[in-house]
Structure 1
Amino acid sequence: MDQYTLNLLVVGASFALYVGIAIWARAASTSEFYAAGRGVNPVINGMATAADWMSAASFISMAGLIAAVGYNNSSFLMGWTGGYVLLALLLAPYLRKFGKYTVPEFIGDRFYSQGARIVAVICLIVISVTYVIGQMTGAGVAFSRFLEVEISTGLYIASAVVFVYAVLGGMKGITYTQVAQYCVLIVAYTIPAIFISMQLTGNPIPGLGLFSDHTASGQPLLTKLDQVVTDLGFAQYTAATSPWSMALFTLSLMIGTAGLPHVIIRFFTVPKVSDARWSAGWALVFIALLYLTAPAVGAMARLNIIDTIYPNGPENEAVLYEERPDWMRNWEVTGLITFEDKNGDGRIQFYNDKNEGFAAAATERGWAGNEFTYNNDILVLANPEIANLPGWVIALIAAGGLAAALSTAAGLLLAISSAISHDLIKSTINPNISERSELLAARISMAGAIVLATYLGLNPPGFAAQVVALAFGLAAATIFPALMMGIFSKRVNSAGAIVGMLVGLIVTAVYLFTYLGWFFIPDTNMLPNTADNWLFGISPLAFGPIGAVLNFASAYIVSGMTQEPPEEIQELVESIRVPRGASGATGH
């Protein structure tokens, strides 16, 4: 059986499974559409949360970012997992005890203000739309290669699949679909990693293989990788940069994780308050299975790519372009790999031509500039082909990449549609709407969100994990502070919450667009994205904590200058935090 047919069968079978689950778990009420009827077992919810969380950024882009940069990008791992600790300890059980369906609903009721609810809806939509771009981009990348279609066609197919199971099933259908998607993606991610770890180190456990000896050279794998990348003018793979920048970026990812609406609403689906905390714990366990493997996948992919270009080592001649391996030919079709023969020798010169210190050595070898470029997003998807693994493994990684992208996209789209139907239409525009009409509005909102996500996926502002990092910064600066103050401060009032969220949103967005403006609007005169131009050296992708501090400060200052919240609101805040009777809380 040829590879295309195998890919089609495996991906098609996984899609049929998702649609079948959606039909079986079709939502029949708003409670099932928004919160799966609040009857999800915490272990099941933990697995669904892990799938919701492990997006295209985690499955496709994270290992690529680690491979491209090395040790410094381990901050993605630390920040994203650390965020779940914050969720488990500070947010999930208290929000579940409050018993609402959506994040804006909690903010609107806690701060006794429709204005606060609407501002929260705006923040939620900005965050979720930004985040979903990466998922649609990831789905397009996977489709374009493995099903041999245009990226745009892949996006349309992915959108159609999400439309069926998300619009039909709502949170109920999405939950059980995500359980299936988790199983697909974790198997798809782990099996190729085991094969490649065995090939390179003889160790079947990728996380241990990363610290084992490289079979061919006898050196520790990371020592070998450091050697080959520095021989080509790249930075040492294990080198670290500024601890301040790394800590700030990690913190941005942590509090951004704890403020992501599509993650938070998963904790509204369990029967009891204690189950919310257990769900977060189980989610960490399921996430760890992939996250402990990702650093090894990144390092081994980087080494494999260099070995395919310089089979006899970087000190010797590169492979002839006409004799390039099949995996390069396959991925060139997608446009995500390019080659330009700058010195006319017919060989693939791959090195860091931006390294001024390496320029003399490159000239001496007759190199006239780097000739080979690849998109970091391809590394996980291409890894089985690079390592010449069996065809069924390649098909499996295709299904896994699509499962990761679609599972998170569905969660994000549900968060958007719930905010529109429940927080805008039901709570603001038409409070007397019937449950049947609200359910219809939720499904129409979901369909509209899918159309918007597809359009943005066709015109993405960057590769998946970069775009996702922007969403984290916005979530860290807006939703997270509002939830924390709503739970732990009786003094913050509606005016303070509204001003805080607006300050966090505007300041963070302005900073991001100022330094990443070229990312969204090419050919503008915005400031270039370099450390020399950043305010106090703070990367735009690490600005979330600064926005959060400004949010907190603005909210407390305004609250201190205005009237205290009503007595019943202060009592409500107190009741949320007190554990008495929590085990019996069921919400509404």
Structure 2
Amino acid sequence: MMASSDFSRRLRRYYLWYTGAFLFFITLLSIGEYMGMSQSMIGHVFLFATIAIYAGIGVMSRTSDVTEYYVAGRKVPAVFNGMATAADWMSAASFIGLAGSLYFAGFEGLAFVTGWTGGFVLVALLLAPYLRKFGQYTIPDFLGARYEGNFARLVGLAAAALASFVYLVAQIYGVGLITSRFVSVEFEIGLFIGLAGILVCSFLGGMRAVTWTQVAQYVILIIAYLVPVVILSYKVTGVPVPQAVYGTVLGQLTEKESELFNDPAEVEARNQFRARADDYAGKISHLPESLELERRTLVDSLNHMRLHDAPARDIGLAERALRDLPVSADEARERWEKAREEALKRAEVPPRHAQAHPGATPEAERISRNNFLALVFVLMVGTASLPHILMRYYTTPGVVEARKSVFWSLFFIFLLYVTAPAYAVFAKWEVYTNLIGSRISELPQWVASWGKVGMVKIEDINGDGVLQLAELSLNTDVIVLATPEIAGLPYVVAGLVAAGGLAAALSTADGLLLTISNALSHDFYYKVVNPRASTHRRLVISKSQLLVVAVVAAWVASLRPDNILFMVGLAFSIAAASFFPALVLGIFWKRANRIGAIAGMVIGLLTTLFYVVRTHSFFGGSMDNAWFGIAPISAGLFGVFLGFATIVIISLLTRPPPQEIQNLVDYVRYPKLKGDEPDFVTEARGREL
């Protein structure tokens, strides 16, 4: 106990010095900017200095011990495991995407805050202490022991790898987005710069290195998140406590919305976007004739320009339009349908920020309310099912510490989540008051900077030279990263936010990479393929898998599959449908058996994937195919309920699990069973089909 107490004191001292040094570093850069240091230099210093810090911790934490590599030696104190879990949890979606979703969705975006926070209550009550009592290394480990063999282990491994990979792609996408903007490189190059930062944190030291790196990353990301919104709060209200005063600004924002939405120029712009959508709908309905007519019109126009010596610029634009025209009716239908949807979106009046469950009709309001509740549910059970989060509770010294670390996780996450709604309100106030209504020829530099990476689009559809709200398109993920520039804050604040976003993405990516590589090396290679593999060989396999998965994820992220928040939501749905029923029933219901659990996991996962493909436009689906109007981000709702029903029904119709498995349930659930691990636990873990 004394040794553990000394270890905790040393850690507190180290990280207090680290925090003070980081604040001093920010101060030095602020002085540097005041004295003429360039924005490019500030961005480079922030990003590369922080990556160097993480790399240094990763190198110092290198290990060849299996327990250290997989579970950090099971000696991480509760407070620090809470910080590491918070960093692992607060991914690019939380740091970059959450405030952006609240910016666009207003009240509806609170589903993310409610669901993600509520999920840790489920973790504390239903899973963390029991999984820690079980011990071992991974979630498939528990499934293999509880459900009698490698079949359940392999199903769990496949689901863990899929959920973690989707989540990982979102993080690497966020890394590429940040580095491409603040280091001024191509998006694809930015991906691999960030990838190098991810690998140096996890490659040498596994969970040990990732844990201490994540604590350092939490310090940076929480400072980076709070500083700009505190400054904004003071700038707008004179009070540097945004969580307490943003309600006042929200009232002013409501009045500003009424003014903007009823502005004649704004109404005209939206009508023109609606007319454009109708035009695309007409062309789509008359394919392929409309495509041929468009081609002939462009050819005739181009010939006319050449005949009459039109300016070279106009001829070049006409040639480009002809070159970019779809080559087939199918391609035209796909591209014009996307353009029609974008025009319709711009033609709609945005929901008012404070309006709950907006909808033009009672039916639309009902669907909005159902989607809100469905998303809250999926995010709660998804949080309680994510393998890279649940793995963190294997790293604590014991069950009591596991429970305490859930409390600290919630506290450290609360600091960000209670601030996100304020961030959205202040950012929207700045855009509505200082950007909308500006002359397009005089827009600030940040519009062009973010436009180069495809995150901001401006179109003066009514030709009045003034920016209307409908003519501005902002990507969800740009709100947090661009807010310091939007508000005219010193560029060092923008660099700080970029460093925080990078810390959030890297910390989660490290945990996810480790989850996938450990599952492949430990649960597949060691438990199934080669149970006699040496410690050295197991670690070599884990590190090689980590490298391969990282490169593949970076390649997928380079395709820019969707916005960060949807990809993260999909990962939650997959994890919820695959794991939650099997884990909860495996801990609390002795009658749950192998056949029922395997069937429940497979049916839950397949139902979720089927619904996403059926309803999401990226996969060629449509919301016309939705069940009860539920959006694809909440697909796990159906998988979870079908998973529970399948496990219960099949378990009741087939033989109960053997006595040693029921004894395992007692051992995991009841603290009174102390002392050395009983023989039946070891036997259950080693049991194979």
Relative to the length of structure 2, the TM-score reads 0.78
Secondary structure in structure 2 of the residue aligned to 1:417: helix
Larger radius of gyration: 2
Secondary structure in structure 1 of the residue aligned to 2:137: coil
* Structure 1 segment 492-503 matched on structure 2, within 5 A: 492-503=592-603
> Letter of the aligned partner of 2:590 in structure 1?
K
* Structure 1 segment 124-163 matched on structure 2, within 5 A: 124-163=160-199
Shift of 1:390: 1.2
Secondary structure in structure 2 of the residue aligned to 1:536: coil
Give, in whole Å, the separation in 2 of the partners of 1:76 and 1:206.
20
> Letter of the aligned partner of 2:560 in structure 1?
P
Shift of 1:343: 2.8
Give, in whole Å, the separation in 2 of the partners of 1:209 and 1:464.
29
Give, in whole Å, the separation in 2 of the partners of 1:114 and 1:548.
23
Q: Deviations over 1:201-245 (max 9, x none)?
A: 222111112113x4xxxx834534543564453221111114332
- Name 2:152's counterpart in structure 1: 116
> Letter of the aligned partner of 2:127 in structure 1?
L
Shift of 1:539: 2.1
> Letter of the aligned partner of 2:651 in structure 1?
S
Shift of 1:144: 1.5
Counterpart pick for 1:95 among 103, 112, 131? 131
Secondary structure in structure 1 of the residue aligned to 2:473: strand
Secondary structure in structure 2 of the residue aligned to 1:346: coil
Give, in whole Å, the separation in 2 of the partners of 1:45 and 1:334.
36
- Name 1:269's counterpart in structure 2: 395
**Range 340-349 or range 113-122, more displaced:** 340-349
* Structure 1 segment 4-403 matched on structure 2, within 5 A: 4-212=40-248, 214=249, 220-224=251-255, 226-227=257-258, 230-231=261-262, 233-241=349-357, 242-310=368-436, 318-351=437-470, 371-403=471-503
Any conservation in 2 of the 1:97–1:585 contact (CA below 8 Å)?
Answer: no
- Name 1:564's counterpart in structure 2: 656
Any conservation in 2 of the 1:272–1:585 contact (CA below 8 Å)?
Answer: no
Give, in whole Å, the separation in 1 of the partners of 2:134 and 2:595.
21
Shift of 1:534: 1.6
Give, in whole Å, the separation in 1 of the partners of 2:541 and 2:528.
14
Any conservation in 1 of the 2:569–2:633 contact (CA below 8 Å)?
Answer: yes
Any conservation in 1 of the 2:254–2:352 contact (CA below 8 Å)?
Answer: no
Give, in whole Å, the separation in 2 of the partners of 1:45 and 1:434.
29
- Identity percentage over the alignment? 43
Any conservation in 2 of the 1:133–1:460 contact (CA below 8 Å)?
Answer: no
- Name 2:332's counterpart in structure 1: none
Q: How many equivalent residue pairs?
A: 549
Any conservation in 2 of the 1:186–1:400 contact (CA below 8 Å)?
Answer: yes
Shift of 1:402: 0.4
Gaps of 5+ in 2: 1-36, 267-348, 358-367, 683-689
- Name 2:330's counterpart in structure 1: none
Gaps of 5+ in 1: 311-317, 352-370
Q: Deviations over 1:496-533 (max 9, x none)?
A: 110000000001110011101x22x4xx4x3x23xx54
Secondary structure in structure 2 of the residue aligned to 1:373: strand
Secondary structure in structure 1 of the residue aligned to 2:247: coil
Counterpart pick for 1:453 among 553, 556, 561? 553
Residue 576 of structure 1 pairs with residue 612 of structure 2? no
Give, in whole Å, the separation in 2 of the partners of 1:568 and 1:461.
46
Structure whose residues are more often helix by fraction: 2
Secondary structure in structure 2 of the residue aligned to 1:338: strand
Give, in whole Å, the separation in 2 of the partners of 1:485 and 1:235.
41
Structure 1 residues 82 and 228 mapped into 2: Cα distance closer, same or farther (>3 Å)?
farther
Secondary structure in structure 1 of the residue aligned to 2:356: coil
Relative to the length of structure 1, the TM-score reads 0.91
Any conservation in 2 of the 1:41–1:270 contact (CA below 8 Å)?
Answer: yes
> Letter of the aligned partner of 1:188 in structure 2?
A
Shift of 1:376: 1.2
Shift of 1:584: 8.4
Shift of 1:327: 1.6
Name the Cα RMSD after superposition: 1.7
Give, in whole Å, the separation in 1 of the partners of 2:237 and 2:561.
38
Residue 429 of structure 1 pairs with residue 540 of structure 2? no
**Range 197-206 or range 93-102, more displaced:** 197-206
- Name 2:615's counterpart in structure 1: 515
Structure 1 residues 208 and 228 mapped into 2: Cα distance closer, same or farther (>3 Å)?
farther
